Amino acid sequence: MILKRVKNKVKRILVKRVEVEEYYFDEQNLLFQFQLSNFFTRKKIAKAEFLVNEEVYPLTCKFVGKNSLVVSLPKHLLSSVTSSSSIQLTINNKKIWITEHDMYKAGDFQESILIANKLLSTKVKKNIIINNRFADFFFMDRSIKAIVNSVQYENLSMTIELPNSVSEDVESIELYAFNNFQFRVLTGKREAGHNPFVFEDFSEMAAGLWRVFLYADNKLYSVKLEDEFNDSFNSYHHQYKILRRDSFLYMELQPHAMETDSISIEEKQVSEFLLSFSLGDKVPNVEYSLQVDEPKSGLLETYPLNNKNGLFQTVLPMNNLLDNLFVKRFFLVEHSEEPKVYRFSLDKRTLQNTTTRYKVISNSQLVKLKFYRRKDLSLGLAMTPAKLKKSIREVTDFKIEGIIGSIEEFIGSKAYLLIEDRASQESLQVPISGEFSIDFKSLDLIGIKSKDKTVLDLFVVIENNSQEVIRKEKIRYTKAQYKKDNYYSYMKQLDDNGNEHHFMITTTPFNNVKVESFTVRKDVEIPQDTQTKDENVWLMGERTNTAQDNGIVFFKWLQKHTTIEAYYVIEEDSTDYEHIKHLPNVLIFGSDRHFEIAFKAKVLLGTHDLENILPYKPAKGFFGYEETIKIFLQHGVLGRKNVEYHKKNYDMPFDLFIVSSEPEKKVIVMDEMGYDDHEVVATGLARFDNLIQVDPPKDILLMPTWRDWINTDEQFLKSEYFMAYSNLIQNEKLLGLLEEYNVNINFYPHYRAQDYFQSEIEDMHERIKFIPLGSQTVQQLLIDHALLITDYSSVSFDFTLLNKPVVYYHFDVERFFRKGILRPIEETFIGGIGSFEEELVTIIEDRIKSNFANFEYEITGIIKYQDQNNSRRIYDEVQKLLEAKRSS
Query: 338-391, pLDDT tens digit by residue?
Result: 999 999 999 989 999 899 999 999 889 999 999 999 988 999 999 999 999 999
Alpha helix (H) ranges present in 568-695?
A: 575-580, 592-600, 662-663
pLDDT tens-digit map of 404-441 = 998 999 999 999 999 999 999 999 999 999 999 999 99
**What does the pLDDT average to over 286-308?**
89
Q: What is the pLDDT of residue 367?
A: 94
In this predicted structure, the answer to whether residue 10 has a pLDDT above a threshold of 60 is no
β-strand 172-178 against 183-189: which pairing, if any? antiparallel
> In which band, very low, low, confident or very high, does the pLDDT at 753 lie, cut at 50, 70 and 90?
confident
In the prediction, which pLDDT does 820 show? 65
- Say whether pLDDT at 1 is over 60: no
Rounded Cα distance, 95 and 851, in Å: 45
419 close to 458: Cβ distance less than 8 angstroms: yes
Give 601-652 pLDDT, tens digit per residue.
999 999 999 999 999 999 999 999 999 999 999 988 886 677 889 999 999 9
Determine which of 309-323, 574-588, 620-634 has the lowest per-residue pLDDT on average: 309-323
Question: DSSP code of 625?
Answer: G
pLDDT above 70 covers a percentage of the chain that reads: 95
pLDDT of residue 699: 94
Q: Residue 392, SS3?
A: strand
Which one, of 398, 630, 643, 638, lies nearest residue 509 by Cα? 643
- pLDDT higher than 90, residue 254: yes
Question: Residue 715 — very low, low, confident or very high, per pLDDT cuts 50/70/90?
Answer: confident
CB count in 10 Å sphere of residue 29: 19
Alpha-carbon Rg for the chain, nearest whole angstrom, is 31
pLDDT attached to residue 857:
73
For CA atoms 446, 449, 453, 458, give the dihedral sign: negative
Neighbouring C-beta atoms of residue 649, cutoff 10 Å: 18
> Which among 691, 855, 695, 852 has a CA at the least distance from the CA of 782?
691
Q: How distant, in Å, are the alpha carbons of 422, 636, 703, 781, 811 from that of 788?
A: 33, 16, 7, 10, 17
| Pairing relationship of beta strands 629-632 and 601-606 according to DSSP bridges | parallel
Write the CB contacts of 510 (distance below 8 Å, at least 6 apart in sequence): 474, 476
Query: What's the burial of 14, exposed, middle or buried (CB within 10 Å: 0-12/13-18/19+)?
Result: exposed
d(Cα 599, Cα 593) in Å, to the nearest integer?
A: 10
**Model pLDDT, residue 83:** 76
Average pLDDT, the chain: 90
Q: pLDDT value at position 815? A: 78
pLDDT in the model for residue 281: 67
Three-state DSSP class for residue 101: coil
* Distant-in-sequence, close-in-space partners of 781: CB < 8 Å, separation ≥ 6: 701, 703, 746, 748, 771
Mean pLDDT for the stretch of residues 742-755: 87
Question: What are the φ and ψ backbone dihedral angles of 557, each rounded to 5 degrees?
Answer: -65, -45
Q: Rounded to 5, what percent of the chain is helix, strand, coil? A: 20, 40, 40
Does position 308 have pLDDT exceeding 80, yes or no? yes
Is the pLDDT reported for residue 38 higher than 80? yes
The DSSP output letter for 359 is E
Q: Which residues on adjacent β-strands are paired with residue 370?
A: 357, 382
- Between CA 795 and CA 807 the distance in angstroms is 12
Q: Is the pLDDT of residue 115 over 90?
A: no
Listed in sequence order, the residues at least 6 apart from 851 whose beta carbon sits closer than 8 Å to its beta carbon are none
Q: What is the pLDDT of residue 12?
A: 57
Q: How confident is the model at residue 55 (pLDDT cuts 50, 70, 90)?
A: confident
- pLDDT at position 399 over 70: yes
Q: How many whole angstroms from its chain centre is CA 430?
A: 37
In this prediction, residue 136 carries a pLDDT of: 75
Q: Which residues of 677-715 are buried (b: 16+ CB within 10 A; e: fewer)?
A: eebbbbbbbbbbbbbeeeeebebbbbbbbebeebeeeee
How would you classify the pairing of strands 262-268 and 238-245?
A: unpaired
Q: CA dihedral in degrees (693, 696, 699, 702; nearest 10)?
A: 20
H helix or E strand, kind and range, residue 725: helix 720-728
Burial degree of 646 (CB within 10 A; 0-12, 13-18, 19+) = middle
* Contact indicator for 253, 239 with CB cutoff of 8 Å: yes
The confidence band for 738, taking pLDDT boundaries of 50, 70 and 90, is very high
Residue whose C-alpha is closest to residue 292's, from 412, 417, 380, 226: 380
Strand partners, 35: 19, 68
Nearest CA to 201 out of 213, 188, 216 is that of 188
Check residue 485 and give its pLDDT.
Answer: 96
Q: Give the β-pairing of 745-747 and 768-770.
A: parallel
Whether the Cβ atoms of residue 550 and residue 634 lie closer than 8 Å to each other:
yes
Instruction: Give the pLDDT band (50/70/90) at residue 747.
Output: very high
pLDDT at position 323 over 90: no
Look at strands 565-570 and 513-520 and give their pairing: unpaired
Residue 113 has pLDDT above 90, yes or no: no
- Range 472-494 average pLDDT: 96
Q: What is the mean pLDDT of residues 552-572?
A: 97
